[in-house]
Every structure is written in structure tokens, then in C-alpha cells.
Amino acid sequence: MFRRKEKELAALVRSMQSELAALREDFARRSGEVGDMRDRLRELDERLSGVDARVTHMTTAITNQLHELDSEIERLANTADAASAETVSELRANQVRIASEQARYAITLRQDLAELAELLRRSRS
């Protein structure tokens, strides 16, 4: 009777050892996957920061160019005759349209970047 219990206990211990070994292997594999995922997330974060910096630089450059264009249009308006006044008016309208478009694109891109950043933040949690 004790022998039987002893054999059952030994079999149970071997079974638990086998399960523990499988769990350790699974843990090691998943730890590697987590490390890989962290590396990919870090890389995405760096790329996202780079994109944000480029967008900021481009937005600043375009804004500066629009201001320069405005100065040139203003100078032209001050020296223009009646026929050129219509052209200046069209230039101003186009400038406003371009500035509005640029602002919309910048806002949309920033929203997309914010969504990506939020996805990265959630995946790190």
C-alpha cells in the first residue's frame, strides 16, 4: 500500500517537473519575444520622434516662406497699378488657401503621430 502511494507520488513529481520544465521554456521564449518587442517599440519611438522633428522643421520653413511671400505681396500691392491689384488679390487668396491647407495637413499629421504615440504607450503598459 505504501509502495503504491510512493509510486504515485514519484509519478506526480515527475509530471510536475516536466510541466515546470515546459513552463520555464515557455517563459524563456516569451521573455525573448518581449525583448524583441521592446526593441521594435524603441525603434518605432525613435522614428516617430524623428518624423515629429521633421514635421516641425517643415512647418516652420513653410510658415517662414508664407511670411516672406506676404511681405513680397505687400510690397507689390504698394507699387502696383490697377491691373496688378487684381493679381495681388489673387495672390493673397492663394496664400491664404495654401496656409490653411498647410495648417490642416500639419494638424492631421500631428493627430496621426499622437495616435501612434498612444498605441506605443499602451503596448508598453
Domain containing residue 90: 2-124
Q: Which residue has the higher pLDDT, 78 or 40?
A: 40
pLDDT band per the 50, 70, 90 thresholds, residue 19? very high
Per-residue pLDDT reduced to its tens digit, 98-110: 888 888 888 888 8
C-beta of residue 113 within 8 angstroms of C-beta of residue 52: yes
Q: How many domains does the chain divide into?
A: 1
C-beta of residue 106 within 8 angstroms of C-beta of residue 57: no
C-beta of residue 89 within 8 angstroms of C-beta of residue 78: no
